[in-house]
Amino acid sequence: MAKQRLGVVFGGRSVEHEVSVVSAMEMMQSIDLERFEPVPFAVTRDGRWLTPEETRAQIDRGDALFAKRIDADVPPLAERPEVIAALAGNDAVFPLIHGVNGEDGTLQGMLEMFRIPYAGCGVAASAVGMDKALQKQLFERAGLRVARHVVVMSHEWAGGDAGITRGVEQRLGFPAFVKPSNGGSSVGVSKVRSREDLGEAMSAAFGMDRKVLIEEAITGRELDCAVIGNDEPQTSPVGEVVAGGEFYDYAAKYLDDSARIIAPADIPAGASDAVRRDAVAAFRAIDGAGFARIDFFLPDDGVPVVNEINTLPGFRPVSMFATLWQKAGVSYSELVSRIVDLAFERFRQREAFGA
């Protein structure tokens, strides 16, 4: 039986570029090589796509972990028919690009136009999953508990910050968290302890996005639950993140060992059941498919607070998503195979409805 050609797309324009490169390299080494032939497609920091041959030359460089950056002086994708032809020659594609043009529904839309099965959430779910403000609206409508928050657009802040600052003080209080509405790996996120700190935090967040989310600081344990599935999503055991600093930031996630992952989390069975139930509800609220990781806070009252959904979570074998499934007896290799099977299932559904 011929191997299935699995395109692995990684890199991209996001600040998580180097994380994506590491994830792709480790995936291609760890998948079921009797079933799949991995075909790598690297995307540079300015959004230019490389052929599989060019990509292999890039990843063969002996750079340090999280220091490998994809750089190449090649034309844009629209001027590279050889890349498009190579992409179209795959049986399925596994997107591993975080952020813009990878996690936000645009890559998913392109793959649907090319009628290529792909792993993970569809166009709408990916777009909503990228926007923290929009997903909170859907979570609230689904009856899920979310942190109190304020959404501020860049033109509103530029028009005068005094009223916004008063509103934050009255509705949320301090401390509070300021974050870009569209972003990942806690990049651009600041903890604000007083109104005097707000301006600097807003400037940092607006450097990443035109829409900023200000949230009340929730005191509680940080929990994660992984989901895989289409119509009948399944949940992993619940994991806990114990941050070594103020919060689980980019450095703690990737660059140092200050944070600990505890899986399964040492929480009451009732709390675990509630988190897993709400994880499925959050996944369904955005019309999720394939896989996702849902992040929670667990305050002292025991009622989970949905923080956000990640439709393309960190996908290294040691990342929280894979670790949680390993605790459920699902190996990394099997996890990738299941997600690709779900991609084929979703593709057949779309084809059946002419979508």
* Residues labelled as active-site residues: 54, 185, 254, 293, 295, 308, 310, 314
According to DSSP, the residues that pair with 87 across neighbouring strands are none
Tokens coding 190: 């600041």
What does the buried/exposed string (b/e) look like for 51-78 if buried means 16 or more CB atoms within 10 Å of the residue's CB?
bbebbeebbeeeeeeeebebebeeeebe
The amino acid at residue 157 is W
Q: Are 120 and 343 contacting, i.e. CB atoms less than 8 angstroms apart?
A: yes
Nearest CA to 239 among 192, 293, 171?
293
| Residue pair 209/182 in contact by the 8 Å Cβ criterion | yes
Residues 6+ apart with CB under 8 A from 244: 252, 256, 257, 258, 259, 260
Q: Is 225 left (phi over 0), alpha (psi -120 to 50) or beta?
A: beta
